[in-house]
Amino acid sequence: MKKDSTARNTIVPAQRISRVSEYYFSRKLKEIAALNAEGKNIINLGIGSPDLPPSQEILDVFCRETVKSDAHGYQPYAGVPSLRAAFTEWYKRWFGVELDANKEIQPLIGSKEGIIHISLAFLNPGDKVLVPNPGYPTYQSASELVGAEIIEYNLCETNGWLPDFEALEKEDLAAVKLMWVNYPHMPTGTPASIALFQQLIAFGKKHNIVICNDNPYSFILNDSPLSLLSVEGAKEIAIELNSMSKSHNMPGWRMAMVASNPTFIEWILRVKSNVDSGQFKPMQLAAAQALEQGQEWYDFINATYRKRRVLAQEIMDITGCVCNPAQAGLFLWGRIPDNCKSGEALADNLLYNANVFITPGSVFGTQGDRYVRISLCCNESMLNEAIKRIKNNIKQ
């Protein structure tokens, strides 16, 4: 019997799918895998996935807890109490922020998940959301998926990659419900400051806009970790995401959190509890152990990144790119030379002629067209090899 394909041919995806595309790095990693299959041996300087392991104490806790017979069941949607308490102490110790472990903290399966949950909890179709350009692409795609109307606010090098509040005040903000910010900023490495956070909270309160700060880079090449929630009255209008991916070398563990006032956290939990069934208990207990790390841990990982950054700067110099030395975070962001067509052209030059992958700034928005980004998540040997390849093979 001939199979009827009519139904299959008439099925179409939800409209929201047409508003987003496959994540850039998902597509690019497939291309890199194909090039590697051809024997190209691509050096990947594009992805911000720490290549170093967590501390031994974390691994010991995980291994010890995993073999326990009661470790494998469903866990509380709000996370185990010890993890919530550990996040609370972490915020108090490093940011000076007091949080209620039972009402103002929610563990997440990665902060990327949190961006989706917050968007679902706060944005109706047609609501407006302020999204930075350049910025983390998920702010835009999450907004698209929930049917919100995106208003991009441009960040410019001439303004230190900070929001132009004068320009924002000229926008029609009546229907704006949420504003995404990210300091220390990815991809530009612009550090946070109390003055900036005070301006953001004042702006949010003035216009009744929820200010959401995505804060995973505070401990990487940054001597002054800051939280948006440290501003007086911030919890009334603000939400902050944080992650252990970068600060504790745990990207694949998907351990993160969101903090805010009890009402906002309860709304987010309503969404989350209908999406997942909690995280593996030994991972949560290991994460709680990780949050007890002292200054020596952050000094250790930053010493490594500092050495790598010197080599990343050499790549920028070879290619004629200009960088701000005050950058924080896990990347180096550079402006391409005037005679270069675009950041994407430079990235393609390195990929196809030197077998080195760096990220074009256009991935993060139109304001990044004339920039490139280099990840520090690659060991010194590979960075030196990348330098050698670029010197010998780049086409000027």
Give the list of residues 6+ apart from residue 178 with CB closer than 8 angstroms, or none.
Answer: 118, 119, 122, 123, 127, 129, 130, 148, 209, 210, 212
H-type alpha helices, the chain: 6-10, 24-37, 56-66, 81-95, 111-122, 137-145, 165-169, 194-207, 262-272, 281-290, 295-318, 343-354, 380-393
- Structure tokens of 325? 């030395």
* Rounded Cα distance, 151 and 173, in Å: 10
Where do the CATH 3.90.1150.10 domains begin and end in the chain?
6-53+296-393
Strand 149-154 vs strand 128-133: parallel, antiparallel, or unpaired? parallel
Distance from C-alpha of 260 to C-alpha of 265, rounded to nearest angstrom: 6
Spatial separation of the C-alpha atoms in residues 216 and 192, rounded to whole Å: 12
Percent of the chain surpassing pLDDT 90: 86
* CA–CA separation, 144 and 126 (whole Å): 10
Give the contacts of 350 (CB within 8 A, at least 6 positions apart): 319, 356, 357, 358, 390, 394
Q: Identify the three-state secondary structure at position 42.
A: coil
DSSP reduced 3-state for 392: helix
At residue 50's C-alpha, the angle toward residues 44 and 53, to 5°, is 130
Burial 104-122 (b: 16+ CB within 10 A, else e): bbbbbbbbbbbbbbbbbbb
Question: pLDDT category, 137, cuts 50, 70, 90?
Answer: very high
Instruction: Provide the token pair at 141.
Output: 């795609």
Q: Which two tokens stand for residue 146?
A: 């929930």
CATH number for the domain formed by residue range(s) 6-53+296-393: 3.90.1150.10
- Banded pLDDT at 1 (limits 50, 70, 90): low
Pick the CATH number of 73-290 from 3.40.250.10, 3.50.50.60, 1.10.10.10, 3.40.640.10: 3.40.640.10
**Omega prior to 216 cis, within 30 of 0:** no
293 contacts 268 by C-beta, under 8 angstroms: no
pLDDT of residue 158: 96
Q: How far is C-alpha 185 from the chain's CA centre?
A: 9
Single out the residue of 360, 325, 354 nearest to residue 340, CA to CA: 360
C-alpha closest to that of 374 among 326, 298, 305, 300: 305
Contact in structure between 234 and 228 (CB atoms under 8 Å):
yes
Tokens in use for 180?
A: 């995404």
Give mean pLDDT, residues 371-392.
Answer: 96
**Average pLDDT of the segment spanning 276-284:** 94
pLDDT digits 0-9 by tens, 332-352? 999 999 999 999 999 999 999
Identify the pLDDT of residue 233: 96
Q: Read off the pLDDT of residues 230-262 as tens digits, 9 standing for 90 and up.
A: 999 999 999 999 999 999 999 999 999 999 999
Mean pLDDT calculated for residue range 75-100:
96
Amino acid at 204: G
Confidence (pLDDT) at 5? 56
Q: Using pLDDT thresholds of 50, 70 and 90, give the confidence band for residue 10.
A: confident
- Coil, strand or helix: which one is 252? helix
Where exactly does CATH 3.40.640.10 map onto the chain? 73-290
